[in-house]
Amino acid sequence: MNSKPFLPILALMTSSALAAPVMDYNRDIRPILSENCFSCHGFDEKARKAKLRLDVQEAAYAERDGVTPLKPGDLAGSDVWQRIISDDEDDLMPPPKSHLKLTDAEKAKVKAWIEQGAKYAGHWAFISPQRPVVTKGTGNAIDALVRERLKEEGLKPSPEADRAMLMRRVSLDLTGLPPSAEEVQVFVKDASPGAYEQLVDRLLKSPHFGERMALDWLDSARYADTNGFSIDGGRHMWLWRDWVIQAFNDNKPYDRFLVEQIAGDLLPNRTEADLIATGFQRNNMVTHEGGTIPEENLANYNADRVKTLGESVLGLTLGCAQCHDHKFDPITMKDYYQLFAFFNSLSDRGLDGNAGVNPGPFVSAKTVLKTDEVPALQTRIASLKQKLASKDEALFAAWEKRQMSSLSQRGQGFKAHPVKVLKVSTPNRGNGFEMEGENGVRLPQVADLAAYDVAVELPKVAEPITGLRVVFHPVPTLPGGGWGSGPMERKARPAAKAKGKGKAAAPTMENELPKKGSFVLTGIGITVDVNLNDQVNLHKLEKIERTTANSWLEKFPPAAALDPRNDSGWSPDIGTQGDVRLTATFDSPVDSKVTPYLTAQLVFGNGKSMIPGHFEFLVVTGHDDDSDLPEPVIAALKTDAAKRTPEQNEMLWSYCSAHAEELNRTRVDLANAEDRLTALTQPFPTMVMDVSPKPRDTFILNRGNYMQPLEKVSTGTIASLPPMPDGSTSDRLGLAKWLTMKSHPLTARVAVNRVWKMLFGIGIVGTPADFGAQGEWPSHPNVLDWLSVEFMESGWDVKHLIKLIVMSDTYRQTSASSKELIERDPQNRLLARGPRFRLPAELLRDAALKTSGLLVPTVGGPSVNPYTPGDLWREVSHYGSTPATAQTFVQDHGEKLYRRSLYTFWKRTAPPPNMTAFDAPNREVCTIARGNTTTPLQALVTLNDPQFVEAARVLASRALQYQGDEPARLQWAFLEVTARQPKPEEMAVLKSALARERARYAAKPELAEQALSVGEAPRHAAIPAVEHAAWMQIASLLLNLSESVTRN
Amino acid sequence: MNPIDERLLHLTRRSLLGDISRGIGSIALGSLLHPELASASATMLPGFPHFAPKAKRVLCLFQSGGMSHVDLFDDKPMLHKHAGKEIPPSVKGTQRLTGMTSGQSAYPVVPPLKGGKLCGKNGTWISDLLPHMQTIADDICVVKTLNTEAINHDPGITFMNTGSQLPGYASMGAWVSYGLGTENASLPAFIAMVSQGTGKNPGQPIFSRLWGSGFLPSSHQGVGLRPGRNPVLYLENPPGVERDQRRAMLDDLAKLNHLRAEELGDPETLTRIQSYEMAFKMQTSVPDLTDISSESKDTLEAYGPDVHKPGSYAANCLLARRLLERDVRFVQLFHRGWDQHIAIARQLPNQCHDIDQPTTALIKDLKQRGLLKDTLVVFATEFGRTVFSQGKLDDPAMGRDHHGRCFSIWLAGGGVQPGITYGATDDFCYNIAENPVHIRDLHATILHCLGIDHTRFTHKFRGLNIRLTGVEESHVVKSILT
């Protein structure tokens, strides 16, 4: 099922066996033997049948009981051959029950090989690369070697891509972003010979270079923002992600890049950055699922680390040797567990990571991002604060009017009617809660944390029901000042047991939780239905217009109960005497005759505050008689404007500027700017590696089972590869030095292949995670080796390597090609044309953001939550039953909607759907090569996802602001999206589409308004809706062009 | 014919279904295809099925959290005799327990929560908590000896759904989509739906990997179907965009794409044009699927009142029938909340109530419409629950812990003998007495019913020919097959 390497041999084999070309063991024979023979006659001694080995020459040539498996040059005397061609099912090899079968072409190859002397050779990838001889010609060494191969195949290279194609290609490859129309125009006109090289140099210096390069490494390192297993709570690892970006931008030598990530904590004079780097092998999934067994979890974590190291750095499927010696490659179980031992010395625990707190060990550290943003940010923050502080009279007047109107309605026609409580439930308790009276719930004993769902029958009232009220009664018999029970005082977080300097972490909501003796309602949800629902229905939550209360702490206002996350909520002032209550007013009133049942979910989710002991449910008709305004604000509003004191005026504006809808955007911008400043200047927790004071012993585990330890082993590397350099230590630093020694046959090749894959869509080795016997023979072994040697000799200079490749004629070829060539070489393994592939998920969204002008190009920082439909997290999560973070999705606003996609919060159990539709992995395990599919679900994303629809809207307004007539604007938009000028036929299609859309919206202007309503970016006020909406459809058309999602 | 169209005709099914290792290719959508290639044979792997299948489709009703076999399907006289007494050490053995109960000082036996009846011609015992299900005893085959090594949810549920306890593997539905392709070109081949249990809400978390494609092309991942205006994410046109307008826009898009594709000789663009056409079709085929206004009053009543609650198990059951009617290859429901460590007396009746009537109605509905005979129904869970109590007896908070050594599931429909019971546990329904069925055996059997030899159904990844049934021994449970 795997595609086979593209070999000239295949064509030759079919024509005539007599003319059989010379067989190369590694290229032609090993893959056949590996696939069909080695699992029973290979390296794994336990699995070996008939004690016969065919993977080494001596064993295969040796006569046993009068039979010789392989007799060089002698088909009749070679038992292997006789078995392959046997008619007798009992003799036939591979045996029929294995379902393995040699094809005729494979048989012909084996036959020729035996006839030619059955010569074995060491596996190419385990022999250190040597720089091949390159014959001079045009282009660089890559071109010379690629052309040699093309010549053998009778093919010619394609001409250079036109400037536009080339610029878009190299820009996307090196920065992940397409060039602007203007940049393309300049480059296309620049006829100077050095123009392309200058472009390449400029792109390599871009801060976006690191972002582009990081993407593949984040897949390899299974980087994500949640713990992965079970409850999948949040974690903080973005400091590591930013370390990777900065490392690429600094052009950190690749050997150093690896050493710091594998052993940064063990380096002499290690820095904070070195510690952050070690997060690479902490990105594995972890669990704190109750009931799981820590030893088993730890064994799984270390197995994942060995697997990741193997696939991402060594190009070896080391995981195979967890349960038995590797069947295809010379890797023993002992080798495996010696590698395992390097990571088994951490102080990590088998159950850890609850509550959005990083599993240990972790440190608090500052980001390594180099940025000059801070002064500008400070200025921006000051100016936004200033804007909020300076009274806007008109705005204030409007706000005041609304408040006065609301206050004048307050309590009008108000009535509260008791409901009838029918059922109470909570996920983790069978008792400790009961109904009291008609409409009450009592919790005489309280769980640590819980969501309570209360299903009620609504009273039959004539008036429409406008809201729900929950009244909390003091219960003098309960501790905690009478409000309830549970934690009286906020539990202090256990201090980080991590190494490193114990700087205070950045301020969080946690530091502001109410003190002693109060409860926090962290979320409220309501479902109204024809039928009774035991719990709220996630798919049928009432929209709540506002929440009010009769008491609250300043940081815990009633509105905060509408944010479902556990770190915000409503908390009444502990000093309040008598009942406290919260009232939720519905967006649209409810008729109890139509929908007689209501279910309310009260979440007390922070696990650190009390849970109230007695509450009642009422429904409200008429206007709520409470207010969301604090009493002093109400008093001031009710005071005649002329008579307000200066303090009152100041307070009113301050309240207005903190709450008025008109200033939402300013407040969001301020909060985002402050977050950004905090991220750049304050320490944050990040997971690291360390050495435990009492490192665990490592044993070979029988069949990989943690319960069955066999022989004890210490750290060590793979015996069949070159040994560790002299003087190496036996810790991870020694491992890192071994990986990066220049005689290592794999490290450089695997790295070069990864870069090649990024630039050509497929590696020189088509199985980039497997350079072993089961891996593909390289399409251009000499190119791989030439580049690997060059890479190491250049001091592992990543930018040098990339520049070499993108400067080659091979890379610069046009991707336009003939049908014949595509038929001949569908995967372009021979490189007779330029590479073409669909953009990875992240780049596709980034391109839409960039061309629309929405992209916020800042680098790094905590992950963000852009537009995502619904609350996909909560459908699968443990929300309401855990203090863990990342259980409910809350969308961000402002600039956080427009960050590059690699900053999108990655929840492993529910990754962003507009990314996974385009083959983004869930980041649970190491991913080396993403798929590249084409599906209708992808079309739905780029056509209908608000992120793309908004991008089309904003791109349209950019086009409409472009100075020029309609054709010029169309040309500009086309150029901006595709980086080339449209052809007349294409212009004709666009023009007629625009005319059609314009006519449509002119006839239905209300549709134009609707179309323009998507997304939070402000509309350009001066652009008429009909014109804007019509252009928006053209913009969407352009963003959906196959060319736009493809890198040609 | 222009060279590109000609090229398109040469595209093989492999490239259309998106083999990762190939550079070109690959439509298939959560598995939609070219109309012209939409016949089943065109979307199957070459050589599939391996033999004549008994079932064309699979319906998996997955009860997530660990459904109690003790309470619902596997009553024994000994449990009543021994009620409240310590489970004999010879029965309990020394194998590992979860961290939830491994520290308990006593392990008293708790008989089933409620009585039950011997139902159907062969007297299959089913709990009175499942009164509707008792009426279909003659249609189902209860397997009492499922077993798994996993004793906790994440590994357990991942094992049952992907054949591995650790992440990174392909789900059952993805495997089936990969092997057998689709028979309906305008709907995905693998659809997954999630509902919340009312016994314990939220239940144990679930994960998209349970319907993920793992190492298979991502086009085989299960497509989520959810209530509301976008049953498939991003399905609906944005506001202010009408259907005929979208049509005209797609025509323009195709024109522009054709122009450029011819210039560059890019067959992938042709595939992409088709994918947009399929998306356009889905915009009507999916709402048509989820619109239940044409269902008769009798049908709706049969599924119970919850059928009107968006996203409920009952609503999903009705959608499942509508999907199977449309020949969707693999339909899977996940119902959460079966993790009764605590307050089983309070939680279990609710969980049972959620699923009893809708499941029964669905089986009867499929049968009545002639769909049951070639649909394999798998009613499963990740493990059972301990016969002994978690917590103290007579405490309302008492529950049962996880139990992987034996648990009950049932199968029905295509290829499976109806009205029988297979396998037996010991007197304490704690260990297997005869005919064990490992999760791998279940997987092998499911594939067998679909005409697939599990040993020959492999995907090469990281140098290995990986199977759903893994590398350990596994067998088709032939005794239960028709």
Q: Residue B129 in contact with residue B73, Cβ under 8 Å?
A: no
- Residues of A (348-377) whose Cβ lies below 8 Å from B: 351
**Residue A528 domain flag:** yes
- The pLDDT tens digits for B322-365 are 999 999 999 999 999 999 999 999 999 999 999 999 999 999 99
A66 lies in the same domain as A158 = no
Least confident stretch, A444-453, A679-688, A850-859, B235-244: A444-453
- The pLDDT tens digits for A633-659 are 999 999 999 999 999 999 999 999 999
Q: Is A115 helix (H, G, I), strand (E, B) or coil?
A: helix
Res A8: pLDDT: 41
Q: Which residues of A touch B311 (CB under 8 A)?
A: 537-540
Instruction: With a cut of 60, say whether residue A271 has pLDDT above it.
Output: yes
What pLDDT band is residue A497 in, cutting at 50, 70 and 90? very low
Cβ separation of B239 and A1010 shorter than 8 Å?
yes
Cβ separation of B228 and A539 shorter than 8 Å?
yes
Instruction: With a cut of 70, say whether residue B6 has pLDDT above it.
Output: no
In total, chain A counts a number of residues equal to 1048
Instruction: With a cut of 90, say whether residue A532 has pLDDT above it.
Output: yes
**Residue A527 domain flag:** yes
Going by C-alpha positions, the residue among B69, B65, B62 that lies closest to residue B424 is: B69
- Residues of B (431-450) whose Cβ lies below 8 Å from A: none
Q: Which residue has the higher pLDDT, B300 or A503?
A: B300
Instruction: With a cut of 90, say whether residue B15 has pLDDT above it.
Output: no
Which of A290, A431, A934 is opposite residue B397, by nearest beta carbon?
Answer: A431
A456 lies in the same domain as A542 = yes
Q: Which residue has the higher pLDDT, B12 or B114?
A: B114
Instruction: With a cut of 60, say whether residue B132 has pLDDT above it.
Output: yes
- Residues of A (398-457) whose Cβ lies below 8 Å from B: 425, 427-432, 451, 453
Res A575: pLDDT: 73
A92 lies in the same domain as A178 = no
The residue of chain A with its CA nearest to that of B178 is A1
Mean pLDDT of B243-260: 97
Which of B4, B252, B312 is opposite residue A989, by nearest beta carbon?
Answer: B252
A236 lies in the same domain as A151 = no
Question: How many domains in chain A?
Answer: 6
State whether residue A965 sits within 8 Å of chain B by CB. no
Instruction: With a cut of 90, say whether residue A9 has pLDDT above it.
Output: no
How many Å apart are CA A603 and CA A570, to the nearest integer?
11
- Residues of A (312-331) whose Cβ lies below 8 Å from B: 317, 319-320, 328
- Identify whether A632 is preceded by a cis peptide bond (ω within 30 of 0): no
Q: Is A459 helix (H, G, I), strand (E, B) or coil?
A: coil
Res A605: pLDDT: 86
What value of ipTM does the predicted structure carry? 0.91
Which of A291, A430, A924 is opposite residue B343, by nearest beta carbon?
Answer: A430
Q: Residue A341 in contact with residue A786, Cβ under 8 Å?
A: no
Q: Which residues of B touch A1029 (CB under 8 A)?
A: 240
Q: Where are the beta strands (DSSP E) in B10-106?
A: 57-63
- The pLDDT tens digits for A891-947 are 999 999 999 999 999 999 999 999 999 999 999 999 998 988 999 999 999 999 999
Q: Specify the DSSP element, H or E, that contains A664.
A: helix A664-681
Class of domain B38-239+301-480: alpha beta
Alpha helical stretches, state H, B59-133 = 69-72, 77-81, 89-92
How many Å apart are CA A1008 and CA B239, to the nearest integer?
9
**Residue A922 domain flag:** no
Instruction: With a cut of 70, say whether residue A812 has pLDDT above it.
Output: yes
Mean pLDDT of A231-251: 97
**Residue A320 domain flag:** yes
A1046 lies in the same domain as A982 = yes
Residues 6+ apart with CB under 8 A from A138: A809
Cβ separation of A936 and B26 shorter than 8 Å?
no
Q: Which residues of B touch A910 (CB under 8 A)?
A: 207-208
Res B76: pLDDT: 94
Residues 6+ apart with CB under 8 A from B334: B62, B64, B192, B193, B194, B195, B206, B210
Cβ separation of B226 and A1043 shorter than 8 Å?
no
**Residue A221 domain flag:** no
Going by C-alpha positions, the residue among A977, A963, A971 that lies closest to residue A853 is: A977
Cβ separation of A1040 and B218 shorter than 8 Å?
no
Instruction: With a cut of 80, say whether residue A20 has pLDDT above it.
Output: no
Instruction: With a cut of 60, say whether residue A386 has pLDDT above it.
Output: yes
Alpha helical stretches, state H, B11-131 = 13-16, 40-43, 69-72, 77-81, 89-92
Cβ separation of B264 and A815 shorter than 8 Å?
yes
A902 lies in the same domain as A1048 = yes
Q: Specify the DSSP element, H or E, that contains B100.
A: none
Q: What percent of chain B has pLDDT over 90?
A: 83
Instruction: With a cut of 60, say whether residue A833 has pLDDT above it.
Output: yes
Cβ separation of A997 and B245 shorter than 8 Å?
yes
- Residues of B (43-72) whose Cβ lies below 8 Å from A: none
How many Å apart are CA A358 and CA A8, to the nearest integer?
53
DSSP letter (8 states) at residue A532: -
State whether residue B83 sits within 8 Å of chain A by CB. no
How many Å apart are CA A457 and CA A839, to the nearest integer?
54
Which of A351, A451, A935 is opposite residue B30, by nearest beta carbon?
Answer: A935
- Identify whether A921 is preceded by a cis peptide bond (ω within 30 of 0): no
DSSP letter (8 states) at residue B238: P
Q: What percent of chain B has pLDDT over 70?
A: 91
State whether residue A934 sits within 8 Å of chain B by CB. yes
DSSP letter (8 states) at residue B308: G
- Residues of A (222-261) whose Cβ lies below 8 Å from B: 228-232
Q: How far is A23 from chain B (nearest CA, A)?
A: 22
Res A512: pLDDT: 54
Q: What integer best gives the mean pLDDT of chain A? A: 92
Cβ separation of B27 and A822 shorter than 8 Å?
no
Cβ separation of A935 and B397 shorter than 8 Å?
no
Q: Which residues of A touch B260 (CB under 8 A)?
A: 986, 1041-1043
Backbone angles phi, psi at A611, to 5 degrees: -120, 130
User: A122, A149, A177 — which closes off a domain?
Assistant: A122
Cβ separation of B311 and A707 shorter than 8 Å?
no
- The pLDDT tens digits for A975-1004 are 999 999 999 999 999 999 999 999 999 999
Instruction: With a cut of 90, say whether residue A427 has pLDDT above it.
Output: no
- Residues of B (178-197) whose Cβ lies below 8 Å from A: 194, 196
Going by C-alpha positions, the residue among A573, A580, A561, A493 that lies closest to residue A522 is: A561
State whether residue A709 sits within 8 Å of chain B by CB. no
A1009 lies in the same domain as A958 = yes
Which of B245, B253, B460 is opposite residue A1041, by nearest beta carbon?
Answer: B253
Res A475: pLDDT: 83
Q: Which domain holds residue A95?
A: 8-122
Cβ separation of B209 and A922 shorter than 8 Å?
yes
Instruction: With a cut of 90, say whether residue A44 has pLDDT above it.
Output: no
State whether residue B299 sits within 8 Å of chain A by CB. no
CB atoms within 10 A of CB A56: 13
Which of A3, A291, A1036 is opposite residue B152, by nearest beta carbon?
Answer: A291
Burial (CB count within 10 angstroms: exposed 0-12, middle 13-18, buried 19+), residue A45:
exposed
A416 lies in the same domain as A506 = yes
Q: What percent of chain A has pLDDT over 70?
A: 94
Alpha helical stretches, state H, B382-467 = 439-449
Q: What integer best gives the mean pLDDT of chain B? A: 91
A265 lies in the same domain as A358 = yes
Mean pLDDT of B189-199: 96
Q: Specify the DSSP element, H or E, that contains A943.
A: helix A936-944
What pLDDT band is residue A138 in, cutting at 50, 70 and 90? confident
Q: Residue A518 in contact with residue A555, Cβ under 8 Å?
A: no
Instruction: With a cut of 90, say whether residue A518 has pLDDT above it.
Output: no
- The pLDDT tens digits for A100-137 are 889 999 999 999 999 999 999 889 999 999 999 998 77
Res A480: pLDDT: 58
Q: Report how far Cα B388 is from the mean position of its chain's Cα atoms.
A: 29
How many Å from the N-terminal Cα to the C-terminal Cα in chain B? 50
Q: Which residues of B touch A772 (CB under 8 A)?
A: 463
Mutation for testing the A interface, residue in B4, B9, B16, B21 having most A CBs under 10 Å: B21
- Residues of B (324-353) whose Cβ lies below 8 Å from A: 342-347, 350
State whether residue A1042 sits within 8 Å of chain B by CB. yes
**Residue A214 domain flag:** no
Residues 6+ apart with CB under 8 A from A79: A67, A68, A69, A70
Angle between helix axes A254-263 and A732-739 (nearest 10 degrees) is 160
State whether residue A708 sits within 8 Å of chain B by CB. no
Cβ separation of B232 and A940 shorter than 8 Å?
yes
Least confident stretch, A247-256, A494-503, A832-841: A494-503
Which of B18, B234, B309 is opposite residue A933, by nearest beta carbon?
Answer: B18
A902 lies in the same domain as A989 = yes
Alpha helical stretches, state H, A190-293 = 195-205, 207-220, 238-249, 254-263, 272-277
Mutation for testing the B interface, residue in A284, A317, A933, A1004 having most B CBs under 10 Å: A933
How many Å apart are CA A784 and CA A755, to the nearest integer?
11
Q: Residue A371 in contact with residue A246, Cβ under 8 Å?
A: no
A1005 lies in the same domain as A1040 = yes
Instruction: With a cut of 90, say whether residue A66 has pLDDT above it.
Output: no
- The pLDDT tens digits for A734-780 are 999 999 999 999 999 999 999 999 999 999 999 999 999 889 999 99
**Residue A496 domain flag:** no
A784 lies in the same domain as A795 = yes
How many Å apart are CA A83 and CA A411, to the nearest integer?
94
What pLDDT band is residue A302 in, cutting at 50, 70 and 90? very high
Mean pLDDT of B22-48: 52
The residue of chain B with its CA nearest to that of A320 is B464
Least confident stretch, A39-43, A130-134, A975-979, B128-132: A39-43
Mean pLDDT of B241-260: 97
State whether residue A976 sits within 8 Å of chain B by CB. no
Q: How far is A785 from chain B (nearest CA, A)?
A: 22
Q: Which residues of B touch A1026 (CB under 8 A)?
A: none
